[in-house]
Amino acid sequence: MKNIFFILLVVLPVLSNAQVLKFSRAIEMNQNVNSDAEESAPFRIGGKLYFARSFHKDNVGGAYYGSDIWVCSPDENGLWQNAEKASPEWNNKGNNVIVGVSEDQKMVYLTNSYFKKSGICFSSYYKGKWTKPELIEIKGVDNEQIVSAFIAKKQNKILLSIKVEGTDHFDLYISNKISDLKYDRPTKLAVSINTSKNEISPFLSFDGKQLFFASEGHENFGSYDIFMSERLYNSWDVWSKPINLGKEINSKKFEGYFVMLPDSTAYFASNKYSKFAQLYKTNFKEFLIKDFDNIAEVKYNYLTDAEMEEALGFIFKPELIFEEQEKELSTKNRELIFFLANKLKSKARIVIILNTMGVVPEDQLELVKLEFLNLGIPAHRIIVQQPDEDIAETVVEIKFGNKKS
């Protein structure tokens, strides 16, 4: 009898520091926040929740012209009170949306509905009031082309969703700071991010390493889903393959305008149960992969042929075959593990799961694990999962997963 170790590949939602990002099931916010109109683009500033509201009769432009910025304040128990329109300095008949906030929360960045020049705007909190918006110019793009944006002040970047010239779809671009009031001509993000369909509502994590955005072009549950991609090699030009945030967040309907906060809460917009988009809240936690008792708790998808070819150089379904009483690695098995380890060692986003599908001698399993360790695959990237022991056939799956950024 021979023991066969099948080698499979999966995509895991893992962060670059070997952590899993897990979201709680999203909860629709109550009627003090949501209305019969449309809510999107949430930001929490100074303990208050700001968001854009469209199709509402009390907007400056009425129900069918533009969007206004509204705000909810918490009561003494932390519950949101009825929403009201935000600063009159911000709202006019255009599309008024918050696209960023400074670290000290004394400066808010807004879509430009105030000036003919191209760009975004900022408003400062001064003597208890928000000032009139002032322009931050962005070279080489018309205001009408900008669909959504996010300013990453700490990284001196503006991320934009822009209508691609000569097409009807939107891609994500990045613009770099020239001076406090001027940013350069936007350049398109990597092909790993943009598709032939629409990408909108970018948001950058606090450390500037993870990009969250909505896309209808990447594999999704339907319509727009929210995805995350990791910035690789400390570059703004190289991004990982986007990962779907999963069914706790996404649905068959629209999801977008995702933002995260340092207190482990996140907000986004969805029309999963309504005609217009409403605001939802979720909580997230980061877990070390090695701390999971059952790797099944980590959601994953098998790598596509294209992803396997990118990781290993070609498409194949390798096997490690042991004789029943074999106590050492054969030359063939050793060469295969050596090949895999050398391909994966430099790819910090790859996690290996040793998944025993049947009764496997412990010493053979340890031989495989130890060989990977000796060849430079760190322990936190090797996970052993033991199945029920009533399966007659002896199988071990070695699964590889991309780490989430």
Q: Which residue has the tokens 């339907």?
A: 222
In which band, very low, low, confident or very high, does the pLDDT at 169 lie, cut at 50, 70 and 90?
Answer: very high
Question: pLDDT tens digits, residue range 173-193?
Answer: 999 999 999 999 999 999 999
List where CATH 2.115.10.20 sits in the chain. 23-284
Name the E strands within 180-276: 182-183, 187-188, 199-204, 210-215, 225-230, 243-244, 255-260, 265-270
Copy the structure tokens of residue 379: 């322990």
**How high is the mean pLDDT of the chain?**
85
23-284, CATH topology level? Tachylectin-2; Chain A (2.115.10)
In which band, very low, low, confident or very high, does the pLDDT at 86 lie, cut at 50, 70 and 90?
Answer: very high
List where CATH 3.30.1330 sits in the chain. 2-15+293-402
Lowest mean pLDDT among 263-267, 304-308, 366-370, 375-379: 304-308
For the residues 168-177, what does the mean pLDDT come to?
95
Lowest mean pLDDT among 28-42, 59-73, 359-373: 359-373
115 phi and psi, to 5 degrees?
-135, 155
For the residues 58-79, what does the mean pLDDT come to?
94
The Cα 147–Cα 200 span in angstroms is 7
2-15+293-402, CATH topology level? 60s Ribosomal Protein L30; Chain: A; (3.30.1330)
Q: Measured between alpha carbons, how far apart are the two ends of the chain, in Å?
A: 43
Name the E strands within 304-385: 319-323, 350-356, 382-385
Residue 31 pLDDT > 90: yes
The Cα 208–Cα 177 span in angstroms is 15
Residue 388 pLDDT > 50: no
Lowest mean pLDDT among 48-62, 136-150, 343-357: 343-357
Residue 393 pLDDT > 50: no
Among residues 86, 105, 102, 104, the alpha carbon closest in space to that of 136 is found at 102
CA 334 to chain centre: 37
* Per-residue model confidence (pLDDT) at position 315: 83
Is this structure's pTM higher than 0.85? no
Highest mean pLDDT, choosing among 188-192, 206-210, 253-257, 381-385: 253-257
The Cα 147–Cα 97 span in angstroms is 11
Question: pLDDT tens digits, residue range 111-123?
Answer: 999 998 889 999 9
In which band, very low, low, confident or very high, does the pLDDT at 394 lie, cut at 50, 70 and 90?
Answer: very low
For the chain, give percent helix, strand, coil, nearest 5.
10, 40, 45
Residue 303 pLDDT > 70: no
